[in-house]
Structure 1
Amino acid sequence: MRSLLTFLLLLNLSLLMAQESEKPQSARDFQNHLNEEFRDPEESPLTEEDRKDFKGLDFFEVDSSYIVKAEFVRTPAESPFKMPTTTDRTPVYVKYGEVYFSIKGEEYKLNVYQNQSFLTDPEYFDYLFLPFTDNTNGETTYSGGRYLDLRIPEGDFVILDFNKAYNPYCAYSGRYSCPIPPKENDLDTAIEAGVKAFDKH
């Protein structure tokens, strides 16, 4: 019996260690993919001049403390609204839910939105949009805030990996129209994870 218990404990420990090691790797894979996208002239938001000198985006070090399990609360009675952007464009979104989580011992809440134009898109019908601002904006990160992408969860929890926080395309070129994070999605903390501000030099 003792040998069986020992085996189960070791198995659980090895699984836990494997899960922990996968978290930062997943973020690094995301960062590598983002850099590849920015090098691709067909997909990159960079100007031709900036892309010519592009060596890679600047990221915070991957930090597992910014990978959090959040409670997901569906808010089904919300009305569609026009989300302000950096231009006159006003795409229609609906508040789809709320996520409740803690970072470094502090509790936070963010709203999650669904773009109504994606509802009939077979690739993005379950896509959720999480724009946010935090205390790094205008310092180490883009002043206009950053985004996270999510999919509609099957249960009551969702993993938020702020190491995958990325800039709107407006951080790289004024020719794009980007949603402005709503005021209620301002985090009164410094999220030192994800993409940093873009430095053309």
Structure 2
Amino acid sequence: MSIIALSLFPKILIGILVGIAALVTSIKLNKRYRLWQKSQSVFYLIFGRSYECNCGHKAKRKTMLTIDGESGIYTLDKEHKYCPQCWINAAIKCAWCSNTIIPGDAITLYTPQDKDFKVPEHAVVYKRTPHLQLVGCLGWNCADTGMDRSGFWIMPGKVQRAASPMEMMISGMSNGDDGMLIVNNLSNPNEAVLIPEEIAKPGE
């Protein structure tokens, strides 16, 4: 073994140990956070006040929800628009990878390229004409690119159309722009150009 390799060995070992320590710490913090979430949900379940939601159901201020094995705390908004159960009922499956899409998630609206493509039973159709468009997720292992973000899945279970970064870039270039576009957060509706339903005309 060379002198250089021997001199690097302690640094490599320290790096490995630091990585293991960080992983263990992350696991412990995650467990503590989940315990804190469960404690919150139990507290509100026993002592929390029930609110009348606009959907017609009653719900606590905070409720522990589990969708496809993932758990989290659902907190009612100030207007008490929707209860936790209605929020769960609004969740759908991605037409392409079957991952869960929950209200608030960014979505794609791809058109099947294969003529023999069979639309899955769980798929949600956004438009049928002039081309079939299916609601999909923006997951790393599913969407071709973040520039295909075409809207958001919102309550009570529908698409809020938004101009995709690609559409915005093409529009800018047609107006003489240099074709550059910066979007900090594709999952943030506040950074998106939302398209009203009367213009998007979903379901046609």
TM-score strictly above 0.5: no
Higher helix share goes to which structure?
Answer: 2
Higher RCO, 1 vs 2 (CA within 8 Å, ≥6 residues apart): 1
**TM-score, structure 1 as length reference:** 0.27
Which has the larger Rg?
2
**TM-score, structure 2 as length reference:** 0.26
